Amino acid sequence: MLYELMGFEADLSEREHLCREYYERALVAFVRRDWAQAIELLNQSIPLERFQPRHNTNMQTTPSLVLKQTCEHYIYHTPPANWDGVYNLRSK
């Protein structure tokens, strides 16, 4: 799974808490192989991410975007029946 250090729990904004909630629910859907549900939840978390690729010049992606791309990949390239939820990233 891909995680991002967000800060101390008490210091997170309501927006960041909501982003984390959507992302965590998307991870559950991902492990269940419910790609459509995961994508729907990630579409809600993406605009809530603190750092956005086009707004922060050093950012090229976010955890939500990476997981969404992985789900989109698995829609067309279903993992084997014994898949353990692991997806190896090809780039950093």
Is the predicted pLDDT of residue 11 greater than 90, yes or no? no
90 confidence band (pLDDT: 50, 70, 90): low
pTM of the prediction? 0.82
pLDDT tens across 26-57, in order?
A: 999 999 999 999 999 999 999 998 877 776 56
- Which string of DSSP letters, residue by residue, matches the chain? --------GGG--HHHHHHHHHHHHHHHHHHTT-HHHHHHHHHHHGGG-SS-TTTSTT----HHHHHHHHHHHHHHSPPPTT--S----S--
